[in-house]
Homo-oligomer: A and B are copies of this chain.
Amino acid sequence: MGVVSFARGVPAPECLPVSELADCARAAIEADGTSVLSYGPGGGYAPLRAWIAERHGVEPSRVVITSGSLQGFVFLAEQLVHKGSRVLVEAPTYDRPLKILTRLGADIVGLPMDDDGLSIGALERALAEGEKPAFLYTIATFQNPSGRTLSEERRVRVAELAREHDLLVLEDDPYGLVRYEGTALPTIFELEGGTNVAYASSFSKTIAPGVRVGYFVLPPALAAQIEALAVSTYISPPFMTQATVHEFLRRGNFEPNLERVSGLLKARRDAMLDALERHMPDGARWSRPEGGYFIWLDLPEETGDLLARAEEAGVTFVKGTDFFADGGGTKSLRLAFSFVSPDEIAAGVEKLARLLHGAPSPAPAL
């Protein structure tokens, strides 16, 4: 066994529907080649845009499909954030948006979280004091990095606050459909109706990251601005990948594939929860997500040089501090269980635990 990577928040190779996508690509190009292989609307391949629009109950012009949803986040941030603009984020949150916001000179305000997601009290205080924020960025379901899900009660409240304060909420939801137990909660977008909430998702976790098909459902005026920015950046996005995804959906492969992928991920999450339970020292706490890719591990003490020692021992993760704008996360780790096998997960967690002060000795091999 090589290095066990709890750092890579990507699907395991067996999650990727390779043969089916190969055939979908061929069929999509043959069926609509002169559209697929030409320039076209900056907001995306029309049939896929229509499919997404119908799913979310909006006009297709409100959907902007980008090469992965991060590209859409960049457009949105470039449109809305100026030097010094306040942007509210969960603390912790996905590290790439933090870097983008930092590059744009945003004043990033981190809202603390607990097991039910972002703190409503902290959101209310942030709205009461200071300049109006450019937007609130939330990954409400199976959050990256924490695996936590915003409770329904809090979703309702975030939707209300968005209305009351004319606050734009950007709900990033790449993991919501990768639920392997429990009941799906309504999105903030659904609760609010889409006037003050922009919704983002992608097919990276439900089909394959390499198709690079993410999308935003935006308020009409903002959709037009973002589409114009897309046109002036790359004329039109690659329709080949978007048409391939559309063909995959048209054939009815989406739900069965999601079920298959969820099964593979559930086995991995179960392996990680089980290993944490068996090996972690007293005082360690971790999230118990019902879906997604990540578990957040809080240790009783600072992680210090744990990552370096772990890498030496053959296991890697991402440090909690990477997910805070302001120096939090010093006792935390993000553990991705999506990429490695259940056996690797068991071995990796055991290795990690051995490096922790106060961890029980490994059980003797039977």
Report the minimum CB–CB distance from A197 to chain B (whole Å): 24
A36 at the interface (CB under 8 A from B): yes
Chain B residues near A68 (CB-CB < 8 A): 234-235
Does the CB pair A33–B22 fall under 8 Å?
yes
CA distance A71 to B74 in the complex (A): 13
CA distance A66 to B235 in the complex (A): 12
Does the CB pair B233–A70 fall under 8 Å?
yes
User: CB-CB contacts of A218-239 with B at 8 A, as 1s and 0s?
Assistant: 0000000000000011111111
Spot the interface stretch: A95-103, A167-175, A325-333: A95-103
| Interface members, chain A 67-111 (any B CB < 8 Å) | 67-68, 70-71, 74, 96, 99-100, 103
User: CB-CB contacts of A11-22 with B at 8 A, as 1s and 0s?
Assistant: 101001011011
CA distance A90 to B26 in the complex (A): 41
A210 at the interface (CB under 8 A from B): yes
Does the CB pair B10–A19 fall under 8 Å?
no
CA distance A39 to B16 in the complex (A): 12
A196 at the interface (CB under 8 A from B): no
Chain B residues near A21 (CB-CB < 8 A): 29, 33, 37
A49 at the interface (CB under 8 A from B): no
Contact A38-B22, Cβ < 8 Å, known A96-B232, A234-B71, A238-B238: no
Does the CB pair B18–A30 fall under 8 Å?
yes
| Interface members, chain A 189-214 (any B CB < 8 Å) | 208-212
Report the minimum CB–CB distance from A228 to chain B (whole Å): 10
User: CB-CB contacts of A49-69 with B at 8 A, as 1s and 0s?
Assistant: 000000000000000001110
A241 at the interface (CB under 8 A from B): yes
A262 at the interface (CB under 8 A from B): no
Chain B residues near A71 (CB-CB < 8 A): 233-234
Contact check: which of B16, B39, B211, B212 meets A209 at CB < 8 Å?
B39
Report the minimum CB–CB distance from A355 to chain B (whole Å): 28
| Interface members, chain A 269-287 (any B CB < 8 Å) | none
| Interface members, chain A 110-138 (any B CB < 8 Å) | none
Report the minimum CB–CB distance from A281 to chain B (whole Å): 33
Chain B residues near A18 (CB-CB < 8 A): 29-30, 33-34, 37
A sample of 11 more A-B contacts (CB under 8 A), given A18-B30, A66-B234, A70-B234, is: A13-B34, A16-B37, A18-B37, A19-B30, A21-B29, A22-B33, A25-B25, A67-B237, A71-B233, A99-B232, A238-B241
- List 28 A-B pairs, Cβ < 8 Å: A10-B39, A13-B38, A18-B33, A21-B29, A22-B25, A22-B33, A23-B26, A25-B26, A25-B240, A25-B244, A38-B209, A39-B209, A39-B210, A40-B210, A67-B237, A70-B234, A74-B234, A96-B235, A100-B232, A210-B238, A210-B239, A210-B240, A212-B234, A212-B236, A212-B237, A240-B240, A240-B241, A240-B244
Partner-B contacts on A (CB < 8 A): 10-11, 13, 16, 18-19, 21-23, 25-27, 29-30, 33-40, 66-68, 70-71, 74, 96, 99-100, 103, 208-212, 232-241, 244
